Structure 1
Amino acid sequence: MKKEIIPILICILLLLYSIGITLLTDYVLNYKHYLGIALIGISTILYFKNKKIFVYVFGLTLILGIISLIDIYYWEIVFSIGPINFNPIFLALLITFLVLNKKQLNEMFPEKKLTEQDLTNKNVETEKLIESYQRKFQSKPESELKSIADENSGYVNEAKTAAKRILKTKNVL
Protein backbone atom coordinates (compact mmCIF):
# COMPACT_ATOMS: atom_id res chain seq x y z
CA MET A 1 0.00 0.00 0.00
CA LYS A 2 1.38 3.40 -0.98
CA LYS A 3 1.50 6.22 1.52
CA GLU A 4 -0.33 8.60 -0.90
CA ILE A 5 -3.58 6.76 -0.16
CA ILE A 6 -3.56 7.66 3.56
CA PRO A 7 -5.58 10.93 3.30
CA ILE A 8 -8.32 9.35 1.16
CA LEU A 9 -8.46 6.35 3.52
CA ILE A 10 -8.89 8.66 6.51
CA CYS A 11 -11.76 10.38 4.67
CA ILE A 12 -13.39 7.04 3.88
CA LEU A 13 -13.05 5.91 7.51
CA LEU A 14 -14.58 9.18 8.77
CA LEU A 15 -17.45 8.78 6.28
CA LEU A 16 -18.08 5.18 7.30
CA TYR A 17 -18.03 6.13 10.97
CA SER A 18 -20.47 8.99 10.31
CA ILE A 19 -22.80 6.72 8.34
CA GLY A 20 -22.64 4.16 11.16
CA ILE A 21 -23.54 6.82 13.73
CA THR A 22 -26.53 7.97 11.67
CA LEU A 23 -27.76 4.38 11.28
CA LEU A 24 -27.47 3.63 15.00
CA THR A 25 -28.70 6.96 16.39
CA ASP A 26 -31.24 9.60 15.49
CA TYR A 27 -28.58 11.83 13.89
CA VAL A 28 -29.46 12.94 10.34
CA LEU A 29 -26.94 13.76 7.62
CA ASN A 30 -27.39 17.06 5.81
CA TYR A 31 -26.56 18.19 2.26
CA LYS A 32 -22.92 18.92 3.22
CA HIS A 33 -22.46 15.27 4.15
CA TYR A 34 -24.03 14.05 0.92
CA LEU A 35 -21.77 16.34 -1.11
CA GLY A 36 -18.82 15.09 0.89
CA ILE A 37 -19.80 11.46 0.29
CA ALA A 38 -20.13 12.11 -3.46
CA LEU A 39 -16.81 13.94 -3.79
CA ILE A 40 -14.90 11.42 -1.67
CA GLY A 41 -16.46 8.60 -3.73
CA ILE A 42 -15.42 10.27 -6.98
CA SER A 43 -11.94 10.90 -5.58
CA THR A 44 -11.61 7.26 -4.52
CA ILE A 45 -12.52 6.03 -8.00
CA LEU A 46 -10.13 8.52 -9.58
CA TYR A 47 -7.31 7.40 -7.28
CA PHE A 48 -7.38 4.02 -8.97
CA LYS A 49 -8.32 5.18 -12.49
CA ASN A 50 -6.46 8.48 -13.08
CA LYS A 51 -4.02 9.78 -10.46
CA LYS A 52 -3.54 13.14 -12.18
CA ILE A 53 -7.23 14.03 -12.10
CA PHE A 54 -7.46 12.53 -8.60
CA VAL A 55 -4.97 15.11 -7.32
CA TYR A 56 -7.09 17.96 -8.69
CA VAL A 57 -10.46 16.59 -7.54
CA PHE A 58 -9.30 15.48 -4.09
CA GLY A 59 -7.41 18.74 -3.56
CA LEU A 60 -10.55 20.69 -4.49
CA THR A 61 -12.61 18.46 -2.20
CA LEU A 62 -10.29 19.19 0.72
CA ILE A 63 -10.39 22.92 0.02
CA LEU A 64 -14.20 22.83 -0.07
CA GLY A 65 -14.08 20.99 3.25
CA ILE A 66 -11.70 23.52 4.80
CA ILE A 67 -14.13 26.36 4.09
CA SER A 68 -16.94 24.17 5.43
CA LEU A 69 -18.91 23.79 2.20
CA ILE A 70 -18.86 20.00 2.54
CA ASP A 71 -18.46 17.66 5.50
CA ILE A 72 -17.55 14.03 6.08
CA TYR A 73 -17.78 13.73 9.84
CA TYR A 74 -21.09 13.54 11.70
CA TRP A 75 -19.99 16.08 14.28
CA GLU A 76 -19.26 19.47 12.76
CA ILE A 77 -15.95 20.82 14.04
CA VAL A 78 -15.32 24.38 12.86
CA PHE A 79 -13.65 27.58 13.91
CA SER A 80 -14.59 30.93 12.50
CA ILE A 81 -12.68 33.95 11.30
CA GLY A 82 -15.32 36.55 10.71
CA PRO A 83 -18.12 35.12 8.59
CA ILE A 84 -15.99 32.26 7.22
CA ASN A 85 -15.96 28.85 8.93
CA PHE A 86 -12.87 26.62 8.76
CA ASN A 87 -12.84 22.88 9.35
CA PRO A 88 -9.59 21.72 11.04
CA ILE A 89 -10.14 18.09 9.98
CA PHE A 90 -9.93 19.03 6.32
CA LEU A 91 -7.01 21.37 7.01
CA ALA A 92 -5.05 18.50 8.58
CA LEU A 93 -6.03 16.22 5.69
CA LEU A 94 -4.89 18.81 3.13
CA ILE A 95 -1.53 19.22 4.83
CA THR A 96 -1.10 15.44 4.95
CA PHE A 97 -2.17 15.15 1.31
CA LEU A 98 0.34 17.82 0.19
CA VAL A 99 3.19 16.23 2.16
CA LEU A 100 2.52 12.69 0.98
CA ASN A 101 1.91 13.66 -2.67
CA LYS A 102 4.81 16.09 -2.95
CA LYS A 103 6.54 14.10 -5.70
CA GLN A 104 3.45 13.90 -7.89
CA LEU A 105 2.60 17.57 -7.30
CA ASN A 106 6.14 18.57 -8.32
CA GLU A 107 5.76 16.57 -11.52
CA MET A 108 2.39 18.17 -12.27
CA PHE A 109 3.50 21.70 -11.42
CA PRO A 110 7.22 21.89 -12.22
CA GLU A 111 9.24 24.99 -11.51
CA LYS A 112 9.68 27.13 -14.57
CA LYS A 113 13.25 26.90 -15.72
CA LEU A 114 14.83 29.76 -17.59
CA THR A 115 15.73 28.87 -21.15
CA GLU A 116 18.93 30.10 -22.73
CA GLN A 117 16.91 32.70 -24.63
CA ASP A 118 15.29 33.94 -21.40
CA LEU A 119 18.69 34.14 -19.75
CA THR A 120 20.16 36.01 -22.71
CA ASN A 121 17.25 38.46 -22.70
CA LYS A 122 17.67 39.02 -18.97
CA ASN A 123 21.39 39.69 -19.40
CA VAL A 124 20.70 42.14 -22.26
CA GLU A 125 18.16 44.00 -20.09
CA THR A 126 20.61 44.14 -17.19
CA GLU A 127 23.34 45.49 -19.46
CA LYS A 128 21.00 48.17 -20.84
CA LEU A 129 20.12 49.21 -17.30
CA ILE A 130 23.82 49.42 -16.34
CA GLU A 131 24.52 51.58 -19.41
CA SER A 132 21.61 53.84 -18.46
CA TYR A 133 23.08 54.30 -14.99
CA GLN A 134 26.50 54.97 -16.51
CA ARG A 135 25.06 57.84 -18.57
CA LYS A 136 23.36 59.26 -15.46
CA PHE A 137 26.45 58.94 -13.26
CA GLN A 138 29.01 60.23 -15.79
CA SER A 139 28.98 63.75 -14.37
CA LYS A 140 29.12 62.72 -10.70
CA PRO A 141 32.30 63.34 -8.69
CA GLU A 142 34.57 60.41 -7.73
CA SER A 143 33.61 60.57 -4.05
CA GLU A 144 29.92 60.14 -4.87
CA LEU A 145 30.71 57.33 -7.32
CA LYS A 146 32.71 55.56 -4.62
CA SER A 147 29.80 55.80 -2.19
CA ILE A 148 27.43 54.43 -4.86
CA ALA A 149 29.81 51.56 -5.67
CA ASP A 150 30.13 50.61 -1.99
CA GLU A 151 28.60 47.18 -1.28
CA ASN A 152 26.64 48.60 1.67
CA SER A 153 25.11 51.47 -0.30
CA GLY A 154 21.38 51.37 -0.80
CA TYR A 155 21.71 51.33 -4.58
CA VAL A 156 20.68 48.45 -6.83
CA ASN A 157 23.40 46.17 -8.18
CA GLU A 158 23.18 47.67 -11.67
CA ALA A 159 23.87 51.16 -10.29
CA LYS A 160 26.82 49.84 -8.27
CA THR A 161 28.23 48.13 -11.35
CA ALA A 162 27.83 51.30 -13.41
CA ALA A 163 29.64 53.37 -10.77
CA LYS A 164 32.47 50.81 -10.61
CA ARG A 165 32.85 50.86 -14.40
CA ILE A 166 33.08 54.64 -14.45
CA LEU A 167 35.66 54.58 -11.66
CA LYS A 168 37.69 51.98 -13.61
CA THR A 169 37.70 54.14 -16.75
CA LYS A 170 38.94 57.05 -14.64
CA ASN A 171 41.66 54.72 -13.24
CA VAL A 172 40.41 55.24 -9.70
CA LEU A 173 39.70 51.55 -8.97
Structure 2
Amino acid sequence: QAELIGAIVKGAFVGDMNLPMVFLGAALAVVLIRLSMPVMSVAIGIYLPLKLSVPIMLGGILSSLAIGAAYLRIDGSLEQEPSKEAKEAASDVESRGVLIGAGFIAGESILGVLIAVLIVLNINLDQIFGIHELSQFFSLVFFAWFVGVFVWLATRALPDGGNLGKEIFTTATHSIKK
Protein backbone atom coordinates (compact mmCIF):
# COMPACT_ATOMS: atom_id res chain seq x y z
CA GLN A 1 0.00 0.00 0.00
CA ALA A 2 2.78 2.38 0.88
CA GLU A 3 4.54 1.59 -2.39
CA LEU A 4 1.38 2.38 -4.36
CA ILE A 5 0.87 5.74 -2.67
CA GLY A 6 4.59 6.49 -3.03
CA ALA A 7 4.46 5.73 -6.76
CA ILE A 8 1.42 8.00 -7.20
CA VAL A 9 3.01 10.87 -5.28
CA LYS A 10 6.34 10.43 -7.08
CA GLY A 11 4.55 10.34 -10.41
CA ALA A 12 2.62 13.51 -9.64
CA PHE A 13 5.63 15.51 -8.45
CA VAL A 14 8.44 14.10 -10.57
CA GLY A 15 6.43 13.35 -13.70
CA ASP A 16 7.41 9.68 -13.62
CA MET A 17 3.88 8.25 -13.56
CA ASN A 18 3.14 4.93 -15.26
CA LEU A 19 0.54 6.37 -17.62
CA PRO A 20 -0.42 3.10 -19.34
CA MET A 21 -1.50 1.69 -15.96
CA VAL A 22 -3.42 4.88 -15.14
CA PHE A 23 -5.24 4.73 -18.48
CA LEU A 24 -5.91 1.00 -18.02
CA GLY A 25 -7.47 1.70 -14.62
CA ALA A 26 -9.57 4.54 -16.05
CA ALA A 27 -10.75 2.35 -18.94
CA LEU A 28 -11.64 -0.45 -16.53
CA ALA A 29 -13.60 2.02 -14.39
CA VAL A 30 -15.55 3.24 -17.45
CA VAL A 31 -16.40 -0.35 -18.43
CA LEU A 32 -17.54 -1.15 -14.88
CA ILE A 33 -19.71 1.98 -14.76
CA ARG A 34 -21.31 1.05 -18.11
CA LEU A 35 -22.04 -2.43 -16.73
CA SER A 36 -23.58 -0.86 -13.59
CA MET A 37 -21.02 -2.58 -11.39
CA PRO A 38 -19.54 -1.04 -8.23
CA VAL A 39 -16.18 0.42 -9.23
CA MET A 40 -14.84 0.72 -5.67
CA SER A 41 -15.68 -2.89 -4.82
CA VAL A 42 -13.83 -4.16 -7.88
CA ALA A 43 -10.93 -1.78 -7.18
CA ILE A 44 -10.67 -3.07 -3.61
CA GLY A 45 -10.70 -6.63 -4.94
CA ILE A 46 -7.86 -5.81 -7.32
CA TYR A 47 -5.87 -3.69 -4.87
CA LEU A 48 -6.11 -5.61 -1.61
CA PRO A 49 -4.46 -8.98 -1.08
CA LEU A 50 -6.65 -12.07 -0.95
CA LYS A 51 -6.34 -12.42 2.84
CA LEU A 52 -8.15 -9.07 3.18
CA SER A 53 -10.52 -9.37 0.21
CA VAL A 54 -12.01 -12.70 1.31
CA PRO A 55 -13.20 -11.46 4.75
CA ILE A 56 -14.73 -8.39 3.08
CA MET A 57 -16.55 -10.66 0.62
CA LEU A 58 -17.73 -12.98 3.40
CA GLY A 59 -19.00 -9.96 5.33
CA GLY A 60 -21.01 -8.87 2.30
CA ILE A 61 -22.48 -12.35 1.93
CA LEU A 62 -23.39 -12.47 5.64
CA SER A 63 -24.99 -9.04 5.39
CA SER A 64 -27.04 -10.12 2.39
CA LEU A 65 -28.19 -13.30 4.16
CA ALA A 66 -29.11 -11.45 7.37
CA ILE A 67 -31.06 -8.79 5.47
CA GLY A 68 -32.80 -11.51 3.46
CA ALA A 69 -33.69 -13.27 6.72
CA ALA A 70 -35.23 -10.01 7.96
CA TYR A 71 -37.33 -9.72 4.81
CA LEU A 72 -38.39 -13.35 5.11
CA ARG A 73 -39.30 -13.12 8.80
CA ILE A 74 -41.44 -10.01 8.34
CA ASP A 75 -43.05 -10.70 4.95
CA GLY A 76 -42.95 -14.50 4.91
CA SER A 77 -41.62 -14.56 1.34
CA LEU A 78 -38.74 -13.29 -0.75
CA GLU A 79 -40.64 -13.26 -4.04
CA GLN A 80 -42.18 -9.78 -3.87
CA GLU A 81 -40.80 -6.32 -3.07
CA PRO A 82 -40.14 -6.10 0.71
CA SER A 83 -42.72 -4.21 2.76
CA LYS A 84 -41.92 -1.03 4.65
CA GLU A 85 -41.76 -2.98 7.93
CA ALA A 86 -39.38 -5.53 6.40
CA LYS A 87 -37.13 -2.75 5.08
CA GLU A 88 -37.08 -1.14 8.54
CA ALA A 89 -36.19 -4.47 10.17
CA ALA A 90 -33.46 -5.04 7.57
CA SER A 91 -32.12 -1.54 8.24
CA ASP A 92 -32.01 -2.31 11.97
CA VAL A 93 -30.12 -5.55 11.30
CA GLU A 94 -27.70 -3.75 8.99
CA SER A 95 -27.09 -0.96 11.53
CA ARG A 96 -26.42 -3.49 14.29
CA GLY A 97 -24.06 -5.41 12.01
CA VAL A 98 -22.10 -2.28 11.14
CA LEU A 99 -21.89 -1.30 14.81
CA ILE A 100 -20.75 -4.77 15.89
CA GLY A 101 -18.23 -4.90 13.03
CA ALA A 102 -16.84 -1.49 14.01
CA GLY A 103 -16.51 -2.72 17.59
CA PHE A 104 -14.62 -5.81 16.47
CA ILE A 105 -12.29 -3.69 14.33
CA ALA A 106 -11.66 -1.30 17.23
CA GLY A 107 -11.01 -4.23 19.57
CA GLU A 108 -8.57 -5.76 17.09
CA SER A 109 -6.76 -2.42 16.82
CA ILE A 110 -6.49 -2.06 20.60
CA LEU A 111 -5.21 -5.63 20.90
CA GLY A 112 -2.67 -4.91 18.13
CA VAL A 113 -1.36 -1.91 20.08
CA LEU A 114 -1.15 -4.02 23.25
CA ILE A 115 0.79 -6.74 21.44
CA ALA A 116 3.12 -4.11 19.93
CA VAL A 117 3.80 -2.72 23.42
CA LEU A 118 4.59 -6.22 24.71
CA ILE A 119 6.95 -6.81 21.78
CA VAL A 120 8.71 -3.46 22.34
CA LEU A 121 9.13 -4.35 26.01
CA ASN A 122 10.67 -7.65 24.81
CA ILE A 123 8.08 -9.74 26.63
CA ASN A 124 7.85 -13.31 25.37
CA LEU A 125 4.16 -14.03 24.87
CA ASP A 126 4.68 -17.79 24.60
CA GLN A 127 6.15 -18.02 28.11
CA ILE A 128 3.65 -15.70 29.81
CA PHE A 129 0.38 -16.73 28.20
CA GLY A 130 1.27 -20.14 26.85
CA ILE A 131 0.19 -18.97 23.41
CA HIS A 132 0.89 -21.31 20.55
CA GLU A 133 -0.40 -21.28 17.02
CA LEU A 134 -3.70 -23.05 16.66
CA SER A 135 -4.08 -25.69 14.04
CA GLN A 136 -6.02 -24.70 10.96
CA PHE A 137 -8.96 -26.84 12.08
CA PHE A 138 -9.33 -24.99 15.38
CA SER A 139 -8.95 -21.68 13.58
CA LEU A 140 -11.77 -22.68 11.24
CA VAL A 141 -13.95 -23.76 14.17
CA PHE A 142 -13.30 -20.44 15.92
CA PHE A 143 -14.09 -18.52 12.73
CA ALA A 144 -17.41 -20.39 12.33
CA TRP A 145 -18.28 -19.66 15.96
CA PHE A 146 -17.32 -16.00 15.48
CA VAL A 147 -19.53 -15.71 12.39
CA GLY A 148 -22.41 -17.36 14.24
CA VAL A 149 -22.12 -14.97 17.18
CA PHE A 150 -21.88 -12.00 14.82
CA VAL A 151 -25.02 -13.02 12.90
CA TRP A 152 -26.88 -13.81 16.12
CA LEU A 153 -26.03 -10.41 17.62
CA ALA A 154 -26.92 -8.54 14.43
CA THR A 155 -30.26 -10.29 13.99
CA ARG A 156 -31.43 -9.85 17.58
CA ALA A 157 -33.21 -6.73 16.28
CA LEU A 158 -35.69 -8.97 14.45
CA PRO A 159 -39.04 -9.75 16.05
CA ASP A 160 -39.37 -13.12 17.77
CA GLY A 161 -41.06 -16.07 16.17
CA GLY A 162 -38.73 -17.20 13.42
CA ASN A 163 -36.05 -19.79 12.90
CA LEU A 164 -32.91 -17.86 11.97
CA GLY A 165 -31.06 -20.88 10.59
CA LYS A 166 -33.96 -21.84 8.35
CA GLU A 167 -34.43 -18.22 7.23
CA ILE A 168 -30.76 -17.85 6.31
CA PHE A 169 -30.83 -21.18 4.46
CA THR A 170 -33.97 -20.12 2.56
CA THR A 171 -32.40 -16.76 1.73
CA ALA A 172 -29.21 -18.44 0.50
CA THR A 173 -31.19 -20.91 -1.62
CA HIS A 174 -33.27 -18.09 -3.09
CA SER A 175 -30.12 -16.08 -3.90
CA ILE A 176 -28.48 -19.07 -5.60
CA LYS A 177 -31.58 -19.69 -7.72
CA LYS A 178 -31.59 -16.06 -8.85
TM-score after normalising by structure 1: 0.25
Greater share of residues in helix = 2
TM-score normalized by structure 2? Answer: 0.24
Structure exhibiting the larger radius of gyration computed from Cα positions: 1
